[in-house]
Amino acid sequence: MSTGFLYDPRFLDHDPGRGHPERRERLTSAEAYLRRQPWVAALVQVAGAEAERRWLQTIHTDTYIDRADRVCRSGAPYLDVTDVGVCPDSPFVARLVTGSLMAMADKVLARELDNGFVLARPPGHHAEADMALGFCLFNSIAITARYLQQQHGLDKILILDFDVHHGNGTQHSFEDDPSVLYVSTHQYPYYPGSGAASETGTGRGVGTTLNCPMPAGATDSHYEAAWRERILPAVEAFAPEMILVSAGFDAHRTDPLAQINLSTGCFAWMTRRLMELADKHCAGRLVSVLEGGYNTDELPRCIAAHLQVLSGVEAA
């Protein structure tokens, strides 16, 4: 099995400000930990790439793209809301995250790789068409889904989001579109306030949004039940051609920004279920990107568990 790994030190150039939880140490701690694991040498290193504006435009408005560049260049401390701390390099780094996810998807579609993981920041799933939100500037996974459809002609894409916070921006990008199944497990009610079970899509897209809200204190067993009872049947019925994963690890029991109590092993368990779905429906085609995860001691271990299953080093 051939698994791609993409880490670009330029991801560190985004600076949201002193004391911000979305700090560069999220990546440096993970990269250092992974470098010490003997199995990481077998991963295929993939180079980062910047997304062209035309792909950003498939999800974001021109007004927003221009405002992001202008505000960040001005030296303003945040974009749109105070939790999206920025610096002059932030738009470039967010475009680099997006283009890197697209580049990984290209290699998986070309069968140069079986699957791949992008270790990147800032995250993207909260970014709306015309607004930065929740540490996120550009919605990299939503843009990549549109890229796969428009550039590669894929018809049906699954976006599975196991970040502890609901991916409001991703859901809103596709809630009226039956060609993208968006599935999310997340703490609820909690930030950003969306993601109720009653949110199932709109118009032609009714039935292709699946929210599995979890109460504070939920454990591995709650997540496994949601997968068996709701997620697996929905994905089986949808039969995607490609799986994209918003891999947030902030549902871990030690994470400081939420109150879900998952073990590290649960992330491996979910990854194995995703691999089984990909093997059955997508010829194994799966690409994931880091979203949340803010305990820099535990985040590296969660990422390693995810990568070990993707690469076949260790089954869950």
**pLDDT tens digits along 161-204:** 999 999 999 999 999 999 999 999 999 999 999 999 999 999 99
**Which residues pair with residue 213 across a beta bridge?**
186
Structural domain contains residue 31: yes
Catalytic residue among 14, 60, 125, 126: 126
Structural domain contains residue 87: yes
Coil/strand/helix, residue 221: helix
- 243 pLDDT above the threshold of 80: yes
Structural domain contains residue 50: yes
Structural domain contains residue 137: yes
Please answer whether residues 166 and 211 qualify as being in contact, where contact means their C-beta atoms are separated by less than 8 angstroms: yes
- 295 pLDDT above the threshold of 50: yes
Structural domain contains residue 68: yes
Structural domain contains residue 53: yes
CATH number, position 97: 3.40.800.20
- Any alpha helices (H) in the chain, and if so which ranges? 25-35, 53-56, 62-73, 90-109, 140-152, 168-174, 220-226, 232-238, 264-281, 299-311
- 72 pLDDT above the threshold of 80: yes
The pLDDT score that the predictor gives to residue 189 is 98
Structural domain contains residue 316: no
User: What does pLDDT average to over the chain?
Assistant: 98
- 152 pLDDT above the threshold of 80: yes
Question: Quick one: which of 136, 146, 143 has its CA closest to 168?
Answer: 136
Contacts of 89 by beta carbon, 8 Å cutoff, 6+ apart: 13, 14, 15, 72
| Count of the separate structural domains present in the chain | 1
- 95 to 8, 91, 102, 290: CA distances (angstroms): 13, 6, 11, 15
Can you tell me the distance from the alpha carbon of 165 to that of 291, in angstroms, rounded to the nearest whole number?
Answer: 10
Contacts of 35 by beta carbon, 8 Å cutoff, 6+ apart: none
- In order, the DSSP letters of 240-298 are -SEEEEEE--TTBTT-TT---BB-HHHHHHHHHHHHHHHHHHSTT-EEEEE-----TTT
Confidence of residue 315 (pLDDT cuts 50, 70, 90): very low
The pLDDT score that the predictor gives to residue 43 is 98
Dump pLDDT digits (tens) for 273-289: 999 999 999 999 999 99
Domain housing 145: 3-311
The pLDDT score that the predictor gives to residue 314 is 72
Can you tell me the distance from the alpha carbon of 271 to that of 261, in angstroms, rounded to the nearest whole number?
Answer: 17
Indicate the residue type of 279.
D
Q: Is 126 a catalytic residue?
A: yes
Structural domain contains residue 28: yes
Question: Quick one: which of 111, 119, 127, 155 has its CA closest to 45?
Answer: 119
Structure tokens at 264: 């590290």
- 9 pLDDT above the threshold of 70: yes
Can you tell me the distance from the alpha carbon of 292 to that of 167, in angstroms, rounded to the nearest whole number?
Answer: 11
Mean pLDDT over 201-227 rounds to 98
* pTM of the predicted model as reported, rounded to 2 decimal places: 0.98
Instruction: Give the other-Cβ count within 10 Å of 237's Cβ.
Output: 9
Q: Which secondary-structure segment (H or E) carries 161? A: strand 157-161
- 316 pLDDT above the threshold of 70: no
Residue with tokens 């459809």: 149
